[in-house]
Amino acid sequence: MKFKFLATLLFSGSVLLAQAQVVDKIEKPIDLVSTLVGTQSTYFLSTGNTYPAIAMPWGMNFWSPQTGKMGDGWMYMYTAEKLRGFKQTHQPSPWMNDYGQFSVMPMVGKKSFDQEERASYFSHKAEVAKPHYYSVYLADYDVKTEITPTERAAFFRFTFPKTNDAYVLLDAFDKGSYVEVLPKEQRIIGYSTKNSGGVPDNFKNYFVLEFDRPFANIATFADSVLTDGRYLVKADHVGALVGFQIANAGDQVLMKVASSFISKEQAAINLKELDGSTFDQRVATGEEQWNNELKKIEIEGGSIDDMRTFYSCLYRSLLFPRMFYEIDANGQVVHYSPYNGKVLPGYMFTDTGFWDTFRSLFPFLNLMYPEISEKMQDGLANAYRESGWLPEWASPGLRSVMVGNNSASVVADAWVKGIRSKDIETLYEAVIHGANHAGPLPAVGRAGASYYTSLGYVPYDVDINENAARTLEYAYDDFAIYQLAKSLNKSTEDITRYKQRSYNYEKLFDPATGLMRGKNKDGQFQSPFNPFKWGDAFTEGNSWHYTWSVFQDVEGLAKLMGGHQAMEIKLDSVFSLPPIFDDSYYGFPIHEIREMQVANMGQYAHGNQPIQHMIYLYNHVGAPWKAQYWVRETMKRMYSPNPDGYCGDEDNGQTSAWYVFSALGFYPVTPATDEYVLGAPLFKKATLNLANGKKVTINAQNNSVENRYVHNLKWNGKNHTKNFVKHSELLKGATLNFDMRSEPNKNRGVNKADLPFSLSKDDK
C-alpha cells in the first residue's frame, strides 16, 4: 500500500509538473496545429462540428477524409472506424452541408462503387492530420494515401502493395454528374452539380484528375451500373475506376487534381498550381505558406496544450470565408457568380455566416490580415452588384439562415479599422439598402423592416420569428452604419437617423425583469414570459443570453438595469443560475441547449455566439477583475487541442477567433469602433507582427494558472489604467507589460475614464 501510494504521489506530481511546464518560442507553429480538433461531434452534441480540412489559408477547395455517407454533412466523425473516400469539399458546416463535391478512393482487388463495400478500416494511430498534409493507412487495401493542397488543386500520393488489381475510384456524386476518361492524357475530367442550395441553375464544379502512369484498365458507372471499357458517362450519379499494375510493394501512384466553377478549361489552368513541384516539394511549400501566416502571431511561455490550442484555433481562423475566385489564362482575377451564374471579373469570397463571424473573426482579420480583408470587401461589393443584396449567410450564394443584418458590421468595422476598399461607396449604398428593406429571403436584408423603421422594433405578434433577437441586432447594425456614415462624412440626415436607431434596444428592455423581452405591436410586452425559453423571440438562445446584445451601448444598458452595481450582479447571475431551459419552441433540446447544460457554467452558453462577448462587459461596470477571472476560466474549461476541443459549433472561425483574441488579452466587444476591451493574456509573451511592419509585444512574464489577474499594465512604459486599448494605437507598434497576480486589483480600471466605449457616453 505504501508503494502504491508513493507511486500515485509521484505520478500526480509528474502530471502537475507537465501542466505547469512552459514552452519557449516555437519556430514552426504548424507543428502544433491539429486539424482534428472539434471532429468528435454528433448531430445531438457538438464539440466543434469541424472536419480535418486539408487546405491552404482561405483556399477555394478543401479536402477531407470522408467517414460519412455521400451527402451527409457529418463527413468526418472522429469515432468512426472506416473511411469511404477523400472528398473535395466546400462545406462551411454540417448544418449548411456541401456543394460541388466529389471524392476519390484507392482500392486493391475490388471494383466497387458501393460506399459500404469500398470503405476501409483505419486508425488514428496511422493518421497524420495537418493543414498542409494528410496521410492515412487504409487497412483493408494495404494502401497509404497522402494529400497536400494548393488553393485550387491537390497532390495525391498512393502507396500500393504489389498487385495487378490496384484502382483509383472517382465518385462524382448524384444530382447530375458527368465523367469522361481520357486514357491518352492519363486524365479524368467531368463535373459535379451536387449542392445544398444557394446556386444558380447553371452551377457546375468542373474537375480534372491527372495520373503519372497509364491506365491498365478503365471502367465507369452510371446509376449503379458498372461497365468495363466505357469512357464517358452522364447521368444522375456517375463515376470512374482506373486500374494500375503495381510491380513492387511500395510503388507509388501520383495523382494531381483541380477544379473550377467556371469551365473545364479553367480547371486545367487551376491544375497548373502544381506545375514544377514534386509531392514532397509541395508539402514543404505548403508548410512554409502556413507557417508564414501562423507566425504573424508568435507566442512564448505557455503550456504545450495551451500552445497547441492557440495555433489550432488560429488555423481555424484562417479558413473562412474561402476564395471563390480564380486566375484565368491571362492572369486576371475572375469568378463564377453564385448569384447570377455569370463569369465576371474581380474577387469573390463565400462560405461564412455574418451572424457568427461579425463578432470577432472579421475584426481579427482586419487587425492581422488587412490585405485579405480588403479583397473580401471588394468581394462583398461584387456580391451586391450581382444579387442586389449583401449576403448575411453565403454558401455559395444567398442562403436563408440566422437573423440580423450584420453585413453592416462587417463593412463598417473594416472601414473604421483602416481597410480602404475602392468600392466603399457601393458598399455604403448596399448597407443602407439592406437596413431598410426586407430581402428575397427572410435572412437577407431585414425581415420586418417596415415594422422596425416605424415602431423601432420587430413585434412579437406579427408572425416574424425570433423578433427580439432581430431587433437587438438591427439596432447594433444601425450603430455600425452610423459609424460608417460619420467616417465617410455622409449627410447629417443619415448620421442622425442611424444614431437614433442605435438606441432601439431600449424598446425591448423590461424593467420588471431587468431583461430583454419580446414586445407586441400594441406596445405591450409579450406574455407569459419565461427568460429561460430558448428560441421564440430569440435565436438559439434565451433572454439571459440576448439581453447583453447591446454591443454599442453597454453604459446605456447598465442605466436601464439600475446602474453599474446592478448590472454587475446581473452578470454574476449568468454564472450562478442553474442551466435550466425551456425547449418548447423547438419541441426538443437542440444541441446548443445540451452544450450549455453539460458545460457547468450556469446560463453561460459559450458554445453559441450571442453571449460570447458578455464576460468582457464587466469592464464596462468597473469590475475588470471579474472579466479576467471568467475569460481565463472559459479558455481553460471550454477549449482543448483534442478532438472534443470546442464547447459547441466552431462556426467558421468565430469561436476560434474568440480564443485567439482572448489569449492575447483583448477582445472586440464593439466592432465598428476603434477599441478592444481588455481581459487577461494567457501567455508570458506574444508578438503580433503587423502587416505594416510594426510589432505589438505583449509581456506577462509572471503569468501562470494562478496569476490570472491584471495588477498593473504599462503601455510603452507608462501606466495604462484603462480597460481598453485602441486599434489605431496598436497599429503604431506598442509594448504592453502586464503585471499578473493571483489576487485581483480592485482599484484598477474603476474610474469613469477607464471604462470602454458606449454610445451614450460618447453622446455626452
Give me the pLDDT at residue 647, please: 97
pLDDT at 403 > cutoff 60: yes
Number of separate domains in the chain: 2
CATH number at residue 52: 2.70.98.10
346: Cα separation from own chain's centroid = 24
Give me the pLDDT at residue 762, please: 78
Give me the pLDDT at residue 317, please: 98
Confidence class for position 764, pLDDT limits 50, 70, 90: low
> At a CB cut-off of 8 Å and minimum separation 6, what does 37 contact?
48, 50, 309, 312, 313, 316, 640, 641, 642, 643, 645, 646
Give me the pLDDT at residue 22, please: 80
Give me the pLDDT at residue 221, please: 96
Amino acid at 553: D
Query: What is the DSSP secondary structure assignment for residue 69, as one 8-state letter?
Result: P
In-domain check, residue 16? no
In a shared domain, residues 644 and 709: yes
| Number of helical H runs and strand E runs in the chain | 21, 36
pLDDT single digits (tens) 226-262: 999 999 999 999 999 999 999 999 999 999 999 999 9
In a shared domain, residues 307 and 285: no
Instruction: Show the cell assigned to 524.
Output: 405591450
In-domain check, residue 7? no
pLDDT single digits (tens) 131-159: 999 999 999 999 999 999 999 999 999 99
Instruction: Show the cell assigned to 298.
Output: 508568435
Instruction: Show the cell assigned to 52.
Output: 480535418
In a shared domain, residues 202 and 309: no
321: Cα separation from own chain's centroid = 8
CATH number at residue 358: 1.20.1610.10
In a shared domain, residues 336 and 448: yes
Give me the pLDDT at residue 763, please: 74
In-domain check, residue 476? yes
pLDDT single digits (tens) 648-702: 999 999 999 999 999 999 999 999 999 999 999 999 999 999 999 999 999 999 9
Confidence class for position 20, pLDDT limits 50, 70, 90: low
In a shared domain, residues 393 and 259: no
CB of 524 within 8 A of CB of 531?
A: no
In a shared domain, residues 285 and 315: no
pLDDT at 97 > cutoff 50: yes
Confidence class for position 17, pLDDT limits 50, 70, 90: very low
In-domain check, residue 171? yes
In a shared domain, residues 708 and 560: yes
Of 295, 314, 333, the one marking the end of a domain is 295
* Element spanning 156, H or E: strand 153-159
Confidence class for position 639, pLDDT limits 50, 70, 90: very high
**Is the torsion defined by CA of 206, 131, 658, 725 positive or negative?**
negative
In a shared domain, residues 253 and 361: no
Query: What is the DSSP secondary structure assignment for residue 508, as one 8-state letter?
Result: G
Of 295, 312, 337, the one marking the end of a domain is 295
Amino acid at 229: G
Q: What share of the chain in percent tops pLDDT 90?
A: 96
Structural domain for 330, as ranges: 301-761
Phi, psi values for residue 442, rounded to 5°: -55, -30
pLDDT single digits (tens) 619-631: 999 999 999 999 9
Phi, psi values for residue 317, rounded to 5°: -75, -10
* Element spanning 208, H or E: strand 205-211
In-domain check, residue 599? yes
Question: Which residue, among 558, 546, 406, 577, has the nearest Cα to 476 in the 3D structure?
Answer: 406
In a shared domain, residues 220 and 172: yes
The string of DSSP letters for 670-724 reads STTSSEEEE----SSEEEEE-TTS-EEEEE-TT--SS--EEEEEEETTEE---SE
In a shared domain, residues 367 and 457: yes
Within 10 Å of residue 286's Cβ, how many Cβ atoms?
A: 23
Give me the pLDDT at residue 463, please: 96
**pTM (predicted TM-score):** 0.96
pLDDT at 361 > cutoff 90: yes
pLDDT average, residue stretch 364-373: 98
In-domain check, residue 8? no
Of 295, 310, 340, the one marking the end of a domain is 295
pLDDT average, residue stretch 305-328: 98
pLDDT at 213 > cutoff 70: yes
In a shared domain, residues 49 and 95: yes
In-domain check, residue 69? yes
In a shared domain, residues 338 and 190: no
pLDDT single digits (tens) 522-558: 999 999 999 999 999 999 999 999 999 999 999 999 9
Confidence class for position 4, pLDDT limits 50, 70, 90: very low
In-domain check, residue 129? yes
pLDDT mean across residues, the chain: 96
